[in-house]
Structure 1
């Protein structure tokens, strides 16, 4: 699913324009429902696979079928990212690739996240924070989906530790990780 182990996370569209090179896969974490069609088009024009973080779209509630149809037919990303199971289910029904983002704070949140992912069946799971090799290894063992490590990855060493723990890819907003 990920041709490159590094994924660019774009949190600031203006800053994106200064990047000289981006990995193949891009997570778009910013934008309004009016800006996103053009932003996604711009990224895809440069042969990027674009995953849109639905929880961060200003002006759109992605928990409805109609919103997911709008995302799929007007914004046209390759896939979506969400923490919400209902959004993942709606995106699966719309034929989009899905990444379920989970936050692991303790054993209970880990257990509940595993249960949720097994229920929603995303194409991949992004675990946050990404600096937990032991947890990444456990998720790799317990889930039949690729695992992405994200959040608080600030160095190549952090990224390498996550990959060595079994993550399929690492998402980061710092260009020094993926350049």
Structure 2
């Protein structure tokens, strides 16, 4: 894992490409996107995916719970630390992020904002150490983005159902540091 200034990367290009397969990886490696979220992979391919991202000069984060064959515990985290060059871990599980950060990974707490219970659960994200980023999905309204920003005071990523430039501008205008999308057309904005 190499040292990167993720904030510089995101200020250069606030679009994060979220990928689900090798075809997506090849497309994003040829794009101007500088940060990649690997949302699906397997233990058989994750090392090679990480290597390709690193060789391209881009920054990779992996959603650990979606890597087939990899346990989402301390052993799985150590495997990623010792065998890949990912800069960060994405998870919906708070304890996993605490362990990942202790190993030197940046962390993204991914939360599905489907109701007020989910919104209220963000209170644990106010801990000054954890996580590095909050990712909310699906694509939230400007009002929700502002409310989350006011509550958590953490860099915010908006994702899920980002379909056009208007969605990107709305999220950034209301306080998101970046958006994440699997939509290849969005990667080109």
Query: Which whole-Å deviations, capped at 9, do the CAs of 1:127-168 have from their partners, x for residues lacking one?
Result: 001232111111111112100000010111111111111100
Match of 1:151 among 150, 157, 160: 160
Match of 1:11 among 11, 20, 36: 20
What secondary structure sits across from 2:158 in the alignment?
A: strand
Is the CA contact 1:127–1:148 (under 8 Å) kept in the aligned structure 2? yes
Match of 1:23 among 30, 33, 36: 33
The TM-score normalised by the length of structure 2 is: 0.88
Is the CA contact 2:90–2:109 (under 8 Å) kept in the aligned structure 1? yes
Match of 1:118 among 110, 121, 126: 126
Residues 66/16 of structure 1: CA separation in 2 closer, same or farther (3 Å cut): closer
The TM-score normalised by the length of structure 1 is: 0.93
Q: How many residues align?
A: 177
Question: Mind listing any 5+ residue stretches in structure 2 that lack a counterpart?
Answer: 1-6
1:22-41 pair list within 5 angstroms: 22-41=32-51
